[in-house]
Structure 1
């Protein structure tokens, strides 16, 4: 037996599952990450991945920013060196000023730079949750948040039960253009949530990933801003805000942030040190330069492009969906949530959609921590032009009509 076949035999004989932690054994593949592989298949119209359109990335400004960084010897050395875990100070200062411009009292010490907002959620879960603690979220909610918090083996509850249900440790909420529903919380809902969280001593995790992608006017103030206005600053509050540049600049730089009271930031810094020491210095310094040169026209262009696609999807749904199907009408973000007639299963429908109509989406059951509502699905419009959206929704409508006739 040669060395290769011998090592393969030994590997096959090891029961790796028995060696994994309880969390490692619980970890399962994300339906969404698996569906992204469909983007490479010819002929597939995919409404699965809620990801930015690379045609809208500010490539020229990004290239110029890298060139400026490497043209400055001191800046280039800093960009390629280890750095502090809190994050690049000029970037944190800029973020702090953006919040102060909105009337929120804070400074750079209230901000931690993370590897995207996904790492922010992971660090927050590790800091606050013990096994059995209760996490509240909307039904449905962002799958990535559920995955991040599940490392602590919490119990999951409905955000609607914040005031009356079992005492929770965290309440996770995406108030603006939520993933997956596209829904936005009104002012009364925001005020009531903050009041209930205060009364019950619950820490609120606000995910602001899509807040800049607004197509019908500005959304209400963030939970962080509302609480800071009531309490005078971020530090006396219980809201932790997560943000990201992935949706508005590029996801590949992997730069997000957390805004929180200083005692929370100080402890999160220690967890980040253990996780990865710090977010890429090069990415942070380049991004700070990009922000200096981007201008407001970039966000306006994103809103125009994605807003046109949102309009195209809603119009196509109006034209092609059969009776009994309903959907959300988002004012921003990247998603439309579709509810199917009772008895239909989004996961089973997906298999037939790919095989017969060559169209993909995410089954809705993936977005529920418990008791999934399977007669639902999520459509993302961010990657497709209006003509492709029209064709894809027409295919989906044709499939649903055939399903209803079975």
Structure 2
């Protein structure tokens, strides 16, 4: 007997995360890894967490921190987040906030909430592969979301109907996107809202990197822009997904959703059925830490990551061969690289690991249709500045050799 024959059809859409597999390379000390989109552990506020944990487990507080809690989340943390959102231009209350086990859980719940098999999700080409993994379980089809295009809403609608469903949402990360590092302009954000209005669909705003801006002027969140038009968050179609994973600690798994109360209430039902609530102790500890010096901590992150971003961009300028292009992000954790046509990111990774012990994420994983094989993602937040210099030097050597082989093959053919 094999249990495989009993699996639901959705399991055919589930794939192992290439990033989770590549993170295993971090245990190999001779590998310089640009693969994981992970924070620098040296910047975790460990002392603040240690002190907060002691307070949370004190005689008075332990009965709360070790107990079951409400599915919506720890009220003081929700109130802090609501205040934080108001600082971003989103007038909201505690009832508009749901605490989730990282923003990844929020994406899973939103896929479950909106998608029936055959429905269409609009996503970027490329987009965050964790979002694809979360949505895949609910058997959608994907269509390409490009805020710069003039594609008519009727075309999206017709394509969705042809595939047996309707467009349910547009998913995007407007600030320093994973994987490209690109930030959308205000006009591009407005264009997504106009498209969503025409299609009568939701907008999922993944704001995991919103706080990590190193250059340029901040752009208002999509939810803030919509709120300016509608005057009431409970009339908005945008769902804002925030996270403390990139600013405080990914290991505590604390994220949040800010949206209309009707949507929050539905997500609470999913939370109750899924895991009852996010760990109470973790929520209390995070609430304690953010209440005392969150902005100062984020400023420290910005200063450190700005140096690493600049080091990577300068190294790319020095060591990349002609014909290779890359983004120049104003913040976040990633640089997106486009190779000459004919080169394959997966094959390049295999060669880079074999010959130079350098790791990155091939770009096809971030494309819903498996395209983009001549692209790759580089992370600059995790490695040190000297590792960045050495790793980019090695990667440039691999690329020169691979491009020479490709040219020789083209000449022979």
Instruction: Give me the TM-score of the superposition, normalised by structure 1.
Output: 0.95
Correspondence for 2:153 among 155, 163, 166: 163
Correspondence for 2:65 among 75, 79, 83: 79
- What pairs with 1:84-233 in structure 2 (closer than 5 Å)? 84-160=70-146, 161=151, 163-167=153-157, 168-233=167-232
| Separation of aligned partners in 2, 1:235 and 1:332 | 30
Q: Residue 146 of structure 1: CA displacement?
A: 0.5
Q: Which moved further from structure 2: 317-326 or 212-221?
A: 212-221
Query: What is the DSSP-based 3-state SS (H/G/I as helix, E as strand, rest coil) of the residue aligned with 2:69?
Result: coil
Q: Residue 191 of structure 1: CA displacement?
A: 1.2
Contact 1:340/1:375 (8 A) holds in 2: yes
The answer to whether 1:29 aligns with 2:7 is no
Q: Residue 178 of structure 1: CA displacement?
A: 0.1
| Separation of aligned partners in 2, 1:28 and 1:248 | 28
| Separation of aligned partners in 2, 1:118 and 1:290 | 22
1:362 counterpart residue number: 361
Q: Residue 102 of structure 1: CA displacement?
A: 3.2
Q: Residue 233 of structure 1: CA displacement?
A: 2.0
Instruction: Give me the TM-score of the superposition, normalised by structure 2.
Output: 0.93
Q: Any stretches of 5+ residues in structure 1 without a counterpart?
A: 1-13
Deviations 1:143-175 (A, max 9, x none): 000011111100100012573532321100100
| Separation of aligned partners in 2, 1:283 and 1:56 | 18
Q: Residue 295 of structure 1: CA displacement?
A: 4.1
Query: What is the DSSP-based 3-state SS (H/G/I as helix, E as strand, rest coil) of the residue aligned with 1:242?
Result: strand
Deviations 1:183-207 (A, max 9, x none): 0000111111111211221100000
| Separation of aligned partners in 1, 2:172 and 2:12 | 27
The answer to whether 1:63 aligns with 2:50 is yes
Query: What is the DSSP-based 3-state SS (H/G/I as helix, E as strand, rest coil) of the residue aligned with 1:293?
Result: coil
Q: Any stretches of 5+ residues in structure 2 without a counterpart?
A: 158-166, 406-413
- What pairs with 1:189-338 in structure 2 (closer than 5 Å)? 189-338=188-337
Distance 1:130 1:253, change over 3 A: same
Query: What is the DSSP-based 3-state SS (H/G/I as helix, E as strand, rest coil) of the residue aligned with 1:152?
Result: coil
Q: Which moved further from structure 2: 290-299 or 137-146?
A: 290-299
Contact 2:123/2:170 (8 A) holds in 1: yes
| Separation of aligned partners in 1, 2:88 and 2:375 | 37
Query: What is the DSSP-based 3-state SS (H/G/I as helix, E as strand, rest coil) of the residue aligned with 2:282?
Result: helix
| Separation of aligned partners in 2, 1:272 and 1:392 | 42
Contact 1:61/1:293 (8 A) holds in 2: no
| Separation of aligned partners in 1, 2:214 and 2:89 | 23
Q: Residue 249 of structure 1: CA displacement?
A: 0.3
2:3 counterpart residue number: 16
CA RMSD of aligned residues (A): 1.1
Number of residues of Structure 1 aligned to a counterpart in Structure 2: 392
Deviations 1:251-272 (A, max 9, x none): 1110000011111110100011
